């Protein structure tokens, strides 16, 4: 009786502070360099999974299963909470055709995650909720660099709530379903404006200092996900996970500052602001996974993920309150994106050295969905090779997972016309390296 009372008090205490933690997470400026599933994907959704190359959908045995394969939360006994975060430090070096290097400004966004799961003692049912940022972008170039007329600051900040329900069909099969509720709360695209070039296009050439442009918007959307976990034998398990596409209507504004001459006349002054609206579709994706555990101490996993990035084929932004001339001048560059579907492969292994200490190692390969013809400096993405390492310190009701990921982007040599309408060029060679550090703290109540 005393144990039940103690557990009840602990659960009440936990639920109270879980709510406080949720509010704190919602108040954060969640951002991420694009990492995982290539494109805008952020694959760092749990330190345990990252340490073994994000190969986790057929294992899925901690609260982060909500993000990888919701069927897996049937394996997480009792009531658990996991709170984690990832620090990502990307750096891109651009070399122009003349051999001059320019480095992007280092950004170190913190990407939090939070999971709560509960498994009923006497029923084959579990439920939970996850709060993550599975997509993101944050890049920054100086306002006096080659990129200034294409992109200076680019942010794509979003937050996803993922309520989940799972149940065991029998001792070999579990299934899970969930909702994906997305808040795309900050799309922020900034660049400089070549005012002199705009004046020339308008038929009144005049030298002028640069102006600035900013497009800011946000929106919400809802999708669904499901997963299956099948264990035909104690040494073998298979996982299938799927997330639906999510259509999002976005609204915001477009601002221009520092206009002069003919451009100021076209926009009614040196400063201009108008409503902006558009549509964005988060891609569907599917994962197939396998896990092999020949002993209690050793496990090897492999996951293959497909992402339908081809839904992101253009920058669908309109300015309903602008006149025809203003709309023509505000057209996005490049107006067509034409991304392609991509695959990623992750594999990794874990070994339990002692009852408390577990080590992990992994590898990830990801295709880039961005073709050379529409490659832009707001997301200088290339195919990736990633080497991961991690571990856990586990106790009966408490544990810490940690991971490090070294991301090596393939060098890309670009020759396209992006930026040419502003009299600039982004042609040249791009090399990117990223340091990623992740940790999760887990409690059982």
pLDDT, tens digit, 9 for 90 and up, residues 348-398: 999 999 999 999 999 999 999 999 999 999 888 888 999 999 999 999 899
C-beta of residue 68 within 8 angstroms of C-beta of residue 49: yes
What is the pLDDT, as a whole number, of residue 32? Answer: 46
What is the pLDDT, as a whole number, of residue 251? Answer: 95
Question: What value does the mean pLDDT take over residues 139-167?
Answer: 94
Q: Is the pLDDT of residue 330 over 80?
A: yes
Residues 166 and 74: their CA atoms lie apart, in Å, by 6
* Structure confidence at residue 120 as a pLDDT band (50, 70, 90): very high
* Structure confidence at residue 410 as a pLDDT band (50, 70, 90): very high
What is the pLDDT, as a whole number, of residue 37? Answer: 53
Angle at 95 between CA 89 and CA 96, to 5 degrees: 140
Q: Is the pLDDT of residue 433 over 70?
A: yes
Q: Is the pLDDT of residue 3 over 60?
A: no
pTM of the predicted model over 0.85 = yes
Q: What is the pLDDT of residues 171-229, one digit of tens each?
A: 999 999 999 999 998 899 999 999 999 999 999 998 899 999 999 999 999 999 999 99
What is the pLDDT, as a whole number, of residue 375? Answer: 93
Residues 147 and 142: their CA atoms lie apart, in Å, by 8
What is the pLDDT, as a whole number, of residue 213? Answer: 96
Which stretches of 244-383 are assigned E, i.e. beta strand?
246-257, 272-282, 285-292, 298-307, 317-318, 342-352, 357-366
Q: What dihedral do alpha carbons 391, 361, 343, 250 form, nearest 10°?
A: 20
Question: What value does the mean pLDDT take over residues 148-169?
Answer: 94
Alpha helices of 287-366 — where are they, by DSSP H?
A: 324-329
Q: What is the pLDDT of residues 54-90, one digit of tens each?
A: 999 999 999 999 999 999 999 999 999 999 999 988 8
**33-42, 123-132, 141-150: segment of lowest average pLDDT:** 33-42
Q: What is the pLDDT of residues 11-62, one digit of tens each?
A: 444 444 444 444 444 444 444 444 445 678 887 899 999 999 999 999 999 9
* Structure confidence at residue 4 as a pLDDT band (50, 70, 90): very low
DSSP 155-195: EEEEEEEEEEEEEESSSSEEEEEEEEEEEEEEEEEEEEE-H
Picking from 176, 286, 272, the residue whose alpha carbon sits closest to that of residue 227 is 176
Picking from 57, 66, 64, 69, the residue whose alpha carbon sits closest to that of residue 82 is 64
Question: What value does the mean pLDDT take over residues 234-244?
Answer: 97
The greatest distance separating any two alpha carbons of the chain, rounded to the nearest whole angstrom, comes to 86
Chain-centre distance of CA 3, in angstroms? 41
Residues 349 and 389: their CA atoms lie apart, in Å, by 10
Tokens in use for 306? Answer: 């497909």
What is the pLDDT, as a whole number, of residue 21? Answer: 46
**97-111, 152-166, 216-230, 257-271: segment of lowest average pLDDT:** 97-111
Question: What value does the mean pLDDT take over residues 301-329?
Answer: 91
* Structure confidence at residue 121 as a pLDDT band (50, 70, 90): confident
- SS3 (DSSP) at 281: strand
C-beta of residue 289 within 8 angstroms of C-beta of residue 303: yes
Tokens in use for 125? Answer: 């049912």
Q: What is the pLDDT of residues 240-293, one digit of tens each?
A: 999 999 999 999 999 999 999 999 999 999 999 999 999 989 999 999 999 999
DSSP letter assigned to residue 445: -
Burial per residue of 133-163, b for 16 or more beta-carbon CB atoms within 10 angstroms, e otherwise: bbbbbbbbbeeebbbbbbbbbbbbbbbbbbb
User: In which element (H, E) is residue 65 found?
Assistant: helix 65-68
Domain limits, the chain: 2-444
Q: Tell me which fold the domain 2-444 belongs to.
A: Porin (2.40.160)
Residue that has been written with the tokens 């975060």 in this structure: 85
C-beta of residue 342 within 8 angstroms of C-beta of residue 312: no
Question: What value does the mean pLDDT take over residues 101-113?
Answer: 86
Question: What value does the mean pLDDT take over residues 340-351?
Answer: 96
Q: What dihedral do alpha carbons 341, 387, 35, 27 form, nearest 10°?
A: 150
């Amino acid at each position: 009786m005393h144990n039940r009372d103690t557990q009840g008090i602990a659960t009440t205490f936990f639920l109270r502070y879980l709510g406080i933690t949720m509010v704190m997470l919602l108040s954060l400026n969640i951002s991420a360099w694009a990492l995982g599933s290539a494109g805008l994907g952020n694959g760092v959704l749990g330190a345990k999974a990252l340490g073994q190359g994000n190969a986790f959908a057929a294992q899925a045995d901690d609260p982060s299963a909500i993000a990888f394969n919701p069927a897996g939360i049937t394996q997480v006994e009792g009531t658990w909470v996991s709170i984690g975060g990832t620090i990502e430090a990307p750096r891109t070096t651009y070399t122009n055709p003349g051999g001059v290097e320019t480095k992007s400004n280092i950004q170190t966004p913190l990407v939090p995650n939070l999971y709560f799961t509960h498994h009923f003692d006497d029923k084959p049912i579990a439920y939970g909720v996850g709060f993550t940022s599975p997509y993101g972008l944050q890049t920054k170039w100086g306002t006096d660099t080659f990129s200034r007329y294409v992109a200076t600051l680019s942010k794509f900040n979003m937050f996803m709530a993922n309520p989940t329900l799972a149940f065991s069909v029998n001792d070999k099969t579990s299934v899970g379903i969930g909702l994906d509720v997305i808040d795309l709360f900050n799309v922020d695209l900034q660049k400089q404006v070549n005012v002199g070039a705009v004046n020339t296009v308008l038929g009144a050439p005049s030298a002028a200092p640069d102006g600035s442009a900013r497009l800011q918007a946000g929106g919400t959307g809802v999708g669904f996900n499901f997963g299956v976990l099948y264990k035909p034998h104690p040494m073998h398990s298979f996982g299938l996970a799927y997330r639906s596409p999510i259509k999002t209507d976005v609204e915001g504004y477009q601002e221009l500052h520092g206009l002069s001459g003919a451009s100021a006349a076209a926009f009614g002054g040196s400063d201009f602001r108008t409503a902006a609206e558009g549509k964005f579709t988060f891609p569907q994706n599917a994962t197939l996974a396998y896990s092999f555990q020949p002993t209690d101490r050793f496990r090897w996993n492999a996951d293959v993920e497909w992402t339908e990035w081809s839904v992101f084929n253009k920058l669908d932004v309109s300015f309903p309150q602008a006149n025809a001339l203003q709309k023509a001048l505000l057209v996005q560059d490049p107006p067509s994106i034409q991304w392609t579907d991509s695959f990623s492969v992750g594999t990794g292994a874990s070994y339990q050295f002692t009852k408390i200490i577990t080590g992990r190692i992994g590898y990830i390969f990801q295709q880039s969905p961005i073709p050379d013809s529409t490659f832009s400096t707001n997301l200088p993405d290339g195919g990736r090779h990633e080497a991961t390492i991690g571990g856990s310190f586990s106790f009966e009701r408490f544990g810490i997972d940690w991971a490090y990921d070294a991301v090596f982007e393939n060098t890309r040599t670009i020759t396209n016309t992006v930026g040419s309408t502003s009299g600039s060029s982004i042609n040249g060679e791009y090399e990117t390296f990223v340091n990623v550090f992740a940790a999760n703290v887990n409690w059982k109540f």
